Structure 1
């Protein structure tokens, strides 16, 4: 159902405001009302908006025909719906001169009896406008929900296109981004001739480039021998267009709002239809969930909740994401690893959500909202170590990334993104460990948000002198400083880490302190130098 707009005819003939007299052409009765304003000052015209009705007692232009003419001309320019003037106050009736002047512009006038108060008129119009907006929004959400139900009930893309075609009463197509039509729906009443043809021959004509603004994205298609104009919408998968015939009429604004709510569902349906020969089955059950993770910016909170509910994902809990990326694409090995992960999680006793996509196994460890973030991350890091030990037979086949702790409904995708960033961050310990934690790489992730220039500046202002010295003297001062800081400035542990004598380490540190003009004891110096070392590692890998 669509909700017709409030009109001037409705205001005059269907409201409790009685004895209104309409003065104007009949077509003006169909003009919409989007608001109401009171005019008590000639300068107030500039605040009036298109399609509003304007109330006045007439005092501001009483016995001044020039002001009457100017206000009528201004209201016409604004395209207000009607000019309503109270009578039996300053005017016994609307003057003939005003009626003649309004007729020149086609501006509708309404004579309002003096006993109708402004407040009553304004309340009646505003209450109906608010009710209409609420009903319209309920309609949009209700119709969008039907598409979600179609998706989860596996009713298929044709059922969705049928609904859209019924809304617009026009032909609807799904095409590739190269304008190749792959699905279409023709409403029988509107396209009886087309529906008799076994196969519709659609050929694109004068397609527009992708950089064309969205509001101008229209394409012409030859359907048999008939040239039709379609409004095209690029779906979130960036692989398909939804095309709706607008040759006879444009898309209704309410239906346009429904369409905006369902683009992601259409893309999800098209993606799920393309799933073939996945690792574990003909269709990967979790594809829709992963599609949500990759397209979260284009989804409303309601859409996220619907998808999470469909997979029984408790999005109201705190979450830490652990992603295992398998180095081998051999399906049997991946299946075996997945089963081992599931058994390991059961053994650990954590509350979790487990899923998989392509060569990744993704775990969301779940915690109560009252659990502090730092504790949740610590427990997750411990769980990752225990899980890694449980999977020791597979350790050469995967790497593991751990996100920070996240709380909000929409942060499920951020947690997944962080686990991938942690996996793919190029650092010196990449080859020496298969477990990577976002919180332990925090300095690197912080630096990655800066420009290359800023990273270079941090490096140049901190440890570049050590790198230059090492290059010229074939020494290892920068590596030594890094090991020294990472081992909490403990001489014995650092020497063991570098496989050098303690005295050699002491000599190197003396040289480092001299080059850096710092004794490396103040917390500010330690932080600054460690940040410089991290910047150096990022720069040398690029």
Structure 2
């Protein structure tokens, strides 16, 4: 019997986040004679340690959260440097600056106090008889007491999360528990993959979280990132911790500062829990590798019509984790890409990458390699049909998908060929055959456009369906073969001239310009075509017959020679 996961709550901090602030610092009996000169807005800053600095080059040695003490000895000869020092300390995250006056600095200059007030850096004037070693001892006793409480809290957090993963709850349950524990959304970001999101981000309205999700990508966060804070483009502050991985794609654990400020304990928790996330990612990777092989085969059999019953389809879809609700409109699309060095392994990897990417145009896209082709299965919103005319919303949807695929696959010449939309799982095979026919006819007949749908083929799809037979051969022998025979005997590019004549809508001057030939040469060739075939190009019926013969010959060139 499978183990039933324990429903133990994940403990949050039992008390308000443990910290020792500048305000509490000023309340120590030892500092009863100290005076806050400026920076009252920064008294909520957390003090993590004390540092006594009496060297000229202070900045490289200070750390965030420090209470910096000085007598001003290093600044007595450079009062202007004193003023420049304050914004630099604030930028480095110093909690407060304490100065003992009357020995080397008689009083704190007014311009220094102004800078401290401007940057919200607490500036404290210490009593002349203050002993720095006593301050260090008292403050660090308080800090260490707080830190011991935080370490106990951190240990509880790690133990709880470890139990959660050992119960087999999975990565999403892990992230949801982290969000509840840290009171901020959490995400796992991995290169060439959709992000794994905690509950509040998964359940939010797409329009509300989309700007945040755009920033939560490996291209913006993970690539070359070190552990630490960073601000996203949409002004959200995050704490990023690299997830240790072996023989896997790079990944990182991200805590988003959305509901409350990220505390030092929160950041430390993310750093420690990143290792657990790495273990779960390895498990996800192993499962995905196995499922990917089954999914590839399932999609190939589905598209090529090898799944004959609805019950078989449901069973195999469930085994492969293919979560497409029954009755969802589906469309098969063939990706026409320029990849001369493409191999079966590369096509399989590309298909798995597309399945894992979060595309803005269509969610839940499926992809599979079929022979030398790359096939897409698009789950669509009810009422969406690519059969609509160009410029409609559905055509726009296909165009947006093309733009995203070109960026992902790195092929600017990529084209999409779409079959008709179907509401039945067994109808996808026909949609795929239509997509293949669309690509063949579009390429043979030179149809323009980066996205071509089956219903845009018009008369070309009818010509494609004309079966091989005596009537077809007689039609081609009457209107196509004689011109090809004349060209082989040196008749002067008659087929090419007639094709360009039709493309130019019967304009002889434009035809001559397109073929870089003299106007009279084109007139001579057209008269020769009329003579060979016994037709007149001024007759609409004859022009229709010739045009259809040329197109039919292009679709089946092997039957024309």
TM-score category (smaller protein)? 0.3 to 0.5
TM-score (norm 1): 0.38
Question: Which of the pair has more CA radius of gyration?
Answer: 2
TM-score (norm 2): 0.37
